[in-house]
Amino acid sequence: MRVPLEGLPERVTIYEVGPRDGLQNEKAIVPVADKAEFVVRLADAGLRTIETTSFVHPRWVPQLADAGELLDALSRSPHLRYPVLVPNERGLDRALDHGVAEIAVFASATESFARRNLNRTLDESLAMFAPVVERARAEGLWVRAYVSMVCGDPWEGDVPIEQVVSVATRMMDMGCSQLSLGDTIGVGTPGQVTALIEAMVAAGVGTGRLAVHFHDTYGQALANTLAALRAGVTTVDASAGGIGGCPYAESATGNLATEDLVWMLDGLGVETGVDLAKLAATSRWMAGRLGRPSPSRVVQALSPGD
């Protein structure tokens, strides 16, 4: 039954992260042909923005060592955006070599995670991104900035909202077009999410440039998404079938499942352009490739007897 709720947007853009954030955090290494089929099927299910892969060094992310090969296997369309994660200038060079038009860069809201994930201080990591963003913009690329650990950090615990805003505005000041606020360990709750978005808007980053990126580690992802939508956000990150996780969280239940998000938005009458049956079929197929059941509640519910 479709029943709208006051204060929600009419349309939400789903930023699909399954092929990159999902597969990067799965143990199984998926063959490049299957990855290409995954992206094509996601697009066929109506997803229009699909983060396809990453040019992080294969030593750190062997799951995505075939980034160039995958990009070369995908045909492009003016209706589809295939952003690619780029960690540094060398990654940008590779992205440009493969005709990428959209990139994403990845910073931490906390000193601890910057040191552990990027092996740099927070300032050093931001200094590393500045020339990447500058060159990407000069080449006409669209640039998204991820900021992780925005609701908490496994080493530091609570993360002050001002600290998130400070890192985020520094990324946007470099020339990024979109900012994705990531609750990497999934500890946030709806009040914190609302306050964070309000603080971003007060700092000059409007909801039109914001996205939210929730992990369902503590079961909060969809409730937090509802709060973000009420606060004016219209771009939501999600991973088909809920694949992926965070190796830094104690228990990695993984990304918000795109199907669980679409179920809610369909019920609310919020347009996404996504065909849920096609999407769930794609996630069931990928779950078979990964050799484990999909953690998405909707995929499980729509797959009786699996």
- Do residues 12 and 271 make contact, with C-beta atoms less than 8 angstroms apart? yes
Site string for its own copies, 227-246 (x = CB under 8 A): x-------------------
What residues have CB less than 8 Å from 217, skipping those under 6 apart? Answer: 185, 186, 187, 245, 246, 249, 251, 252, 253, 254
Could you give the angle at the alpha carbon of 29 between the alpha carbons of 248 and 263, nearest 5°? 70
SS3 45: coil
Scanning residues 254 to 293, which ones bind its own copies (CB under 8 A)?
257, 260, 263-264, 266-269
C-alpha to C-alpha distance for 173 and 184, rounded to whole angstroms: 23
Contact code string over 123-152 relative to its own copies, x by CB under 8 A: ----------------------------xx
Binding of its own copies at residue 172 (CB under 8 A)? Answer: no
C-alpha 237/C-alpha 256 separation (Å) is 8
| Active-site residue identified among 107, 246, 276, 302 | 246
Closest C-alpha to 8, from 281, 303, 261, 285: 261
Distance CA 245, CA 21 (A): 8
Residue closer to its own copies (CB basis): 8 or 32? 8
142, 226, 275, 278: which one binds its own copies (CB under 8 A): 226
Q: Is 201 in the site for its own copies (CB under 8 A)?
A: no
Shortest distance, position 77 Cβ to its own copies, whole Å: 31
Span interacting with its own copies, options 25-33, 87-95, 165-173, 211-219, rule CB under 8 A = 211-219
Compute the least distance from the CB of residue 251 to its own copies, in Å.
4
Residue 151 is a catalytic residue: no
Task: Determine the Cα–Cα distance for residues 191 and 196; give it in Å rounded to an integer.
Answer: 9
Residues that bind its own copies (CB under 8 A): 1-5, 8, 151-152, 158-159, 186-192, 194-195, 216-220, 222-223, 225-227, 249-251, 253, 257, 260, 263-264, 266-269, 296-298, 300-304
